[in-house]
C-alpha cells in the first residue's frame, strides 16, 4: 500500500516563536542586557535542536500497513498489521496515525511510541457491518520533537479497495418447485437418446437397441402381442435457476441492515450458494444502481438503473461472480418488477426455475409470470413482508393470490435470524516489538 514511500513535510507548529526572536533582538538593542542575549540564545538553540530532531526523524522513520485479506464477508473481522521502523538514534516520544478509510465501523487511528533504532508492530481490527466497495487509506503519520515546536508529517496517499461481500446464510425452509429440486425432473419432451427418465413403452421397430427392451412389459403381454416392447425416455430439464432480485426503490422498506434491500441481497446470495452446491447452474438479474458504498447519497430520483445480468453457470468460481454483483448493487431508479420480468422472458426456457425475491405486494407484476409458466418454467416467490419493515402492503393477501395461480411463496419478516453457513472466527495475532540493537523480540499479549 505504501511502496512509493511517504510524502514528508516539516512545519513549525508555533510560528509565533519566530516572531519572538526579532522582538528579543530589538529589546536588546533598545536596552542591552545579558538576559535578552540569554533568551535569544536559548530560544534559537531550542528551535535549532527541534528542527534537527525533526529532520532526523523525517528522514529515517518509516511505516507500512498490510492487509491480511483482500476481501471479507459481512460479519467478518477485518485485520491490518502496521509496522513502524525508527531508524534514527532519537526516540519517538509519540507518533499519531490518522486513517481516512471509509469502511464503516473501522478505523486504524492510534498513537504509538518507539525508542531509537526500534521496530514495532501492531494490529488493528474491526467487524464489517455493511456490504459494498470501500477503500483503506489514504493515511498520515504525525510526530514532533519533544518540545512540540516542529511537527513532522508523513503522508501516505496510497489507498486500496476492499470488497465486502454479503453474508451467505442457512436458508429457511425454502422449497423450490418441481424441476429445480435436488435430483432429476420430468418434461413432456421426448428424447431420442437414453436418459434417466423413462416415460413409457412402445412397440419395437427395426433399429431399436436391445438394451432398451422392457422385458417385464413384453413378458406380461404374452400371446396378445407378438412383438417386443421398448422404453421411451423424456428429456431432463436443465434445472437452471434464475434469481430475480427486485431492487425497485419505490417498493423497498426499512433502513440499513434491517431493510428489505439487505434481506433480499442476503437471500439471493444464500439461494445461489445452495443451488451451486447442488451442482446446478444459477443466474442473477437485478435492476439497481451501483453508486458506491452503502451510506452514500442515493442517486437522483428517476435515474435510469443499471441492469445486472449474470448468466447461469455452475461451479464455485461462479459463486464469487454472483457475490461480487450483489456486493455493490443498491436499490434505486424506477424499474418495477413487471418490467424486469418482461425483459427476462426471452431468457427463460423450458425446464428452468425462476425465483423472484421482492417486497412488492402489487398484483400487477404477477402477469409477468404467466408467459414463462405456459412454457414450463417453474416459478417461486420469496416475499419480504413490507409491513414488518415499516412499509405498506398485505403479504398474506399476496400469498393467497400466488397460491391461486399455483405459485409457491415464502414469507420473510423482519428480524429473521440469519445463521452464517461458515462461522468466521477471529485468529489472534500477538502484537510484538523487535529491538534493533539486540534482535530480542518482546511479545505483548492481548
Task: Kindly give the pairing relationship between strand 61-67 and strand 409-412.
Answer: unpaired
Indicate the residue among 177, 205, 234 that finishes a domain: 234
**H-helix or E-strand containing 325?**
helix 316-328
Q: Are residues 399 and 270 in the same domain?
A: yes
State which of 65-69, 179-183, 408-412 shows the largest mean pLDDT.
408-412
Residues 6+ apart with CB under 8 A from 91: 113, 114, 115, 116
Q: Is residue 422 part of a domain?
A: no
> Does residue 319 contact residue 220 with C-beta atoms inside 8 Å?
no
- Predicted confidence at residue 291, as pLDDT, reads 54
Instruction: Give the residue among 353, 414, 312 at the shortest CA–CA distance from 175.
Output: 353
Q: Is residue 2 part of a domain?
A: no
Q: Are residues 153 and 205 in the same domain?
A: no
Residue 354 pairs in a beta bridge with 242, 379
> Does residue 130 contact residue 164 with C-beta atoms inside 8 Å?
yes
> Does residue 254 contact residue 415 with C-beta atoms inside 8 Å?
no
pLDDT in tens, 129-142: 899 999 998 999 99
Q: Is residue 181 part of a domain?
A: no
Residues 6+ apart with CB under 8 A from 39: 24
Q: Are residues 14 and 116 in the same domain?
A: yes
Instruction: Give the residue among 213, 164, 173 at the shortest CA–CA distance from 326.
Output: 164
Q: Are residues 75 and 140 in the same domain?
A: yes
Alpha carbons 46 and 36: distance in angstroms, whole number = 15
Q: Are residues 434 and 400 in the same domain?
A: no
Task: Kindly give the pairing relationship between strand 7-12 and strand 71-73.
Answer: unpaired
> Does residue 207 contact residue 196 with C-beta atoms inside 8 Å?
no
Q: Is residue 1 part of a domain?
A: no
pLDDT in tens, 213-266: 877 777 777 655 567 777 765 444 456 899 999 999 999 999 989 999 999 999
* Domain total of the chain: 3
Alpha carbons 432 and 123: distance in angstroms, whole number = 10
Alpha carbons 133 and 137: distance in angstroms, whole number = 13
- Is a pLDDT exceeding 80 seen at residue 406? yes
- Within 10 angstroms of residue 227's Cβ, the number of other Cβ atoms is 10
Q: Are residues 72 and 101 in the same domain?
A: yes
Q: Are residues 322 and 365 in the same domain?
A: yes
- Predicted confidence at residue 179, as pLDDT, reads 46
Instruction: Give the residue among 302, 328, 314 at the shortest CA–CA distance from 245.
Output: 328
Q: Are residues 258 and 369 in the same domain?
A: yes
Q: Are residues 155 and 17 in the same domain?
A: yes
- The pLDDT confidence band at residue 201, using thresholds 50, 70 and 90, is confident
Q: Are residues 255 and 317 in the same domain?
A: yes
Residues of the domain holding 370: 241-412
pLDDT in tens, 85-118: 999 999 999 999 999 999 988 989 999 999 999 9
Alpha carbons 5 and 76: distance in angstroms, whole number = 30
In whole numbers, what is the pLDDT of the chain averaged over residues? Answer: 82
Alpha carbons 62 and 156: distance in angstroms, whole number = 10
Instruction: Give the residue among 154, 156, 112 at the shortest CA–CA distance from 431.
Output: 112
415 conformational bin, left if phi > 0, alpha if psi -120 to 50, beta if neither: left
- The pLDDT confidence band at residue 166, using thresholds 50, 70 and 90, is very high
Tell me what the mean pLDDT of segment 69-88 comes to: 89
Tell me what the mean pLDDT of segment 381-406 comes to: 95
- Predicted confidence at residue 226, as pLDDT, reads 61
Alpha carbons 141 and 155: distance in angstroms, whole number = 6
Q: Are residues 159 and 298 in the same domain?
A: no
Q: Outline where DSSP puts E strands in 87-193.
A: 92-99, 110-114, 118-127, 132-136, 139-144, 150-156, 160-165, 190-191
- Within 10 angstroms of residue 297's Cβ, the number of other Cβ atoms is 7
Residue 233 pairs in a beta bridge with 191, 198
Stretch among 24-38, 125-139, 339-353 having the lowest mean pLDDT: 24-38
Task: Kindly give the pairing relationship between strand 198-203 and strand 229-234.
Answer: antiparallel
- Within 10 angstroms of residue 444's Cβ, the number of other Cβ atoms is 11
Q: Is residue 177 part of a domain?
A: no
Place of cell 453457470: 313
> Does residue 269 contact residue 166 with C-beta atoms inside 8 Å?
yes
- The pLDDT confidence band at residue 303, using thresholds 50, 70 and 90, is low
CATH value at residue 158: 2.60.40.3880
Q: What is the CA radius of gyration of the chain?
A: 34
Report DSSP state, residue 350: T
CATH value at residue 250: 3.40.50.410
Q: Are residues 282 and 213 in the same domain?
A: no
Amino acid at each position: 500500500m505504501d511502496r512509493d514511500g511517504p510524502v514528508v513535510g516539516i512545519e513549525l507548529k508555533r510560528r509565533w516563536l519566530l516572531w519572538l526572536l526579532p522582538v528579543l533582538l530589538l529589546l536588546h538593542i533598545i536596552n542591552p542586557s545579558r538576559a535578552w542575549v540569554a533568551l535569544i540564545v536559548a530560544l534559537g538553540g531550542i528551535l535549532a535542536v527541534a528542527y534537527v530532531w525533526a529532520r532526523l526523524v523525517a528522514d529515517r522513520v518509516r511505516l507500512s500497513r498490510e492487509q491480511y485479506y483482500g476481501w471479507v464477508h459481512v460479519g467478518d473481522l477485518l485485520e491490518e498489521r502496521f509496522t513502524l521502523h525508527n531508524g534514527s538514534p532519537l526516540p519517538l516520544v509519540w507518533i499519531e496515525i490518522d486513517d481516512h478509510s471509509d469502511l464503516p465501523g473501522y478505523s486504524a487511528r492510534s498513537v504509538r511510541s518507539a525508542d531509537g533504532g526500534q521496530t514495532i508492530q501492531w494490529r488493528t481490527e474491526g467487524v464489517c457491518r455493511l456490504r459494498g466497495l470501500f477503500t483503506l487509506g489514504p493515511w498520515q503519520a504525525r510526530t514532533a520533537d519533544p518540545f512540540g515546536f516542529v511537527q513532522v508529517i508523513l503522508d501516505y496517499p496510497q489507498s486500496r479497495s476492499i470488497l465486502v461481500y454479503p453474508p451467505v446464510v442457512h436458508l429457511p425452509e425454502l422449497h423450490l418447485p418441481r424441476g429445480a429440486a435436488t435430483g432429476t425432473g420430468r418434461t413432456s419432451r421426448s428424447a431420442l437418446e437414453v436418459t434417466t427418465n423413462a416415460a413409457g413403452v412402445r412397440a419395437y421397430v427395426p433399429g431399436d437397441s436391445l438394451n432398451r427392451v422392457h422385458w417385464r412389459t413384453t413378458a406380461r403381454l404374452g400371446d396378445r402381442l407378438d412383438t417386443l416392447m421398448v422404453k421411451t425416455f423424456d428429456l431432463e430439464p436443465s434445472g437452471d435457476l434464475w434469481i430475480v432480485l427486485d431492487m425497485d426503490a419505490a417498493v423497498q422498506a426499512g433502513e440499513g441492515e434491517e431493510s428489505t434491500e439487505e434481506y433480499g441481497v442476503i437471500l439471493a446470495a444464500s439461494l445461489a450458494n445452495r443451488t451451486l452446491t447442488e451442482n446446478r447452474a444459477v443466474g442473477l438479474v437485478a435492476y439497481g444502481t451501483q453508486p458506491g458504498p452503502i451510506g452514500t447519497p442515493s442517486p437522483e430520483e428517476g435515474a435510469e438503473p443499471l441492469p445486472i445480468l449474470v448468466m447461469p453457470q455452475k461451479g464455485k468460481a461462479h459463486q464469487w461472480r454472483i457475490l461480487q454483483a450483489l456486493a455493490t448493487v443498491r436499490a434505486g431508479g424506477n424499474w418495477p418488477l413487471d418490467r424486469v420480468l418482461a425483459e427476462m422472458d426471452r431468457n427463460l426456457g423450458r425446464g428452468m426455475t425462476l425465483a423472484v425475491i421482492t417486497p412488492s405486494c402489487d398484483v400487477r407484476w404477477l402477469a409477468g409470470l404467466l408467459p414463462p409458466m405456459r412454457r414450463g418454467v417453474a416459478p417461486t416467490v420469496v416475499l419480504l413482508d413490507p409491513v414488518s419493515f415499516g412499509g405498506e402492503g398485505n403479504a398474506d393477501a399476496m400469498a393467497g393470490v400466488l397460491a391461486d395461480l399455483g405459485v409457491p411463496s415464502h414469507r420473510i419478516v423482519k428480524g429473521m435470524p440469519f445463521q452464517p453457513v461458515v462461522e468466521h472466527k477471529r485468529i489472534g495475532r500477538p502484537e510484538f516489538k523487535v529491538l534493533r540493537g539486540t534482535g530480542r523480540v518482546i511479545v505483548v499479549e492481548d
